[in-house]
Structure 1
Amino acid sequence: MIHARRLSKERPNDGVLVNACCPGWVRTDMAGDKAPKSPEEGALTPVYLALLPPGATAPHGKFVSDKEVQPW
C-alpha cells in the first residue's frame, strides 16, 4: 500500500499498478498433495493482475486473492 501510494504521488502518469496477491494453498512439492488448488488454479490471480488491460486504474495498492480485493 505504501509503495503504491508513493508511486502514484511521484510518478502519476506512469500507469503502473502495484498489488500484492496470494495464490492460496496450491498442490506443489512444498505444500503437498492435500492442498485444494491445482497449480493452474493458483496461477489465476497473479495472471489476472499481470494481464489487466492498458489504462486500468484499479486495483492499486490492494491485496488480491481469488481475483477479488481482500480487506487487510
Structure 2
Amino acid sequence: MKILKLAFKNMKNNKLRAGLTVLGVSVAVFVFAFFQSMQSTMRGVVTRAGENNNLIMLEQNTW
C-alpha cells in the first residue's frame, strides 16, 4: 500500500513525465490495434477476392 502512495505522489509531482508516459502507452496501444485491424482486413480481402475464381493449370506434355 505504501508503494501506491509513493507512485501517486510521484505522478502528482512529475506531471509532465506522467502525461508523456500515458501518451506513449496510448499511442502504442493504438498503433498495435490499428495494425492488427489492417492485417485482419487484408486477410479478409484476399480471401474474398480468390473465393470463386480459382484457376488451376496442370501441364500435360512436358516434351
Normalized against structure 1, the TM-score is what?
0.25
More helix by share: 2
Larger Rg: 2
Normalized against structure 2, the TM-score is what?
0.27
